[in-house]
Amino acid sequence: GRISSGIVSPEIPDKSAKFTYKASQTGNSISLVANMEITRALYYESDYALIKEFFNQIISKESEVFMLKKKAI
């Protein structure tokens, strides 16, 4: 099997925070790249639910488990 190449990118609706996660396989190598970009220094109390959900999505994605299987010879 192969790791399907894909990008997950949750972001805040006003686009002030973005998280990109990409997993890919090339030959016998697996690459995981995670990047978080926050462009605002201050969020208001009214933004709390959005920020909390944004970070919950990041935690969920980074907690995923990769299962590697040895090929049968």
- Under DSSP, the state recorded for 14 is T
Q: What is the pLDDT of residues 4-17, one digit of tens each?
A: 555 667 788 888 99
- pLDDT of 73 strictly over 80: no
Threshold 0.85, pTM exceeds: no
